Amino acid sequence: MTLLLRKIKEIRNYLRNIRCQNNSIVGFVPTMGYLHQGHIELIRRSKMQNDLTIVSIYVNPLQFGAGEDFERYPRDLERDLSICEEEGVDIVFAPLDEEMYPEKPLINIEIQGLSNILEGEFRPSHFSGVCTVVLKLFNIILPDRAYFGEKDYQQLKIVERLVKDLNIPLEIIPVPTVRDEDGLALSSRNTYLKPEERESALSLYRSFLLAEKLIKSGDRDAKLIKEAIREFIMKHPHIKKIDYVEVTDPDLRPVEEVKEGDRILLAVWVGNTRLIDNWRIGDANL
């Protein structure tokens, strides 16, 4: 039976008792809801590794910029709860805005060299909002492990660094991106796509395969590969623009010569929908 809690005090009291009495190890899956198979992977990993699994469902206004999709972001708590029930989640924490932000927070958090590149260049206060809500949730739930998808690779790297720099007493567990059978990375934002746009959105995944092919055939120049990716994606209808295509090492430092383990990261507007995806070089079975 999944327990739904909406107040910070409630979940704190509940966990305080259970933690000490049963010596329970707590796994935590922070989400913005509208759960899909990607979230379910996170939940399953947590169920395997911990005594107790907590899922938070909260569309964090602080990580959306002005004019972004905060209002239209898909929400369906009923559906999310029944998925959590089915997966054996112990607690769903779904706070209201006034519970999370009784006042507008004054804190800004930057991770130098990580917050301001890629996504951060196009969404300037995004990662400060992410770091703030993640710290809040960590402080409310005090988990032993927290699960983050590689789909948001830069977010994962930033949260890892946050945990390291601040000695937060928990372990971050990265979980590989889940893709639809046709390769589209799962995202709650995929619901925005019209069928014909979804077809074009496949170009993101396919551009990774193209890059792998180029690399296998001996092209190792990052600039060349990025150009090929851009050109390939832009050929598709409904592609409005590419915010960035970058090739970096696993710590998000741009590389000139591509090698296995490096990452391709990109953000592309398909119609009015902004999609991000990333790829670990060497992961394609060509």
Contacts to a copy of itself from residues 182-211, by CB under 8 A: none
With binding defined as CB under 8 A, does residue 98 bind a copy of itself? Answer: no
With binding defined as CB under 8 A, does residue 18 bind a copy of itself? Answer: no
With binding defined as CB under 8 A, does residue 23 bind a copy of itself? Answer: yes
With binding defined as CB under 8 A, does residue 132 bind a copy of itself? Answer: yes
With binding defined as CB under 8 A, does residue 106 bind a copy of itself? Answer: yes
d(CA 151, CA 239) in angstroms, rounded, equals: 20
Strand boundaries in 46-97, DSSP class E: 52-57, 91-93
d(CA 3, CA 92) in angstroms, rounded, equals: 6
With binding defined as CB under 8 A, does residue 217 bind a copy of itself? Answer: no
Active-site residue, 238 included: no
Shortest reach from residue 91's CB to a copy of itself, in Å: 17
Shortest reach from residue 277's CB to a copy of itself, in Å: 25
Contacts to a copy of itself from residues 221-250, by CB under 8 A: none
Q: How many CB atoms lie within 10 A of CB 85?
A: 13
d(CA 68, CA 54) in angstroms, rounded, equals: 28
Sign for the CA dihedral angle at 106, 111, 113, 118 comes to negative
Sign for the CA dihedral angle at 112, 117, 118, 124 comes to positive
The CB-side HSE value for 127 (13 A sphere, CA atoms) comes to 26
With binding defined as CB under 8 A, does residue 13 bind a copy of itself? Answer: no
Contacts to a copy of itself from residues 144-183, by CB under 8 A: 161-162, 164-169
Shortest reach from residue 53's CB to a copy of itself, in Å: 21
With binding defined as CB under 8 A, does residue 7 bind a copy of itself? Answer: no
Longest dimension (CA), the chain: 60
- What is the helix (H) or strand (E) element at residue 97, kind and residue range? helix 97-100
Point out which residues bind a copy of itself (CB under 8 A).
Answer: 8, 12, 19-20, 23, 103, 105-114, 132, 135-136, 139-140, 142, 161-162, 164-169
The set of catalytic residues is 39
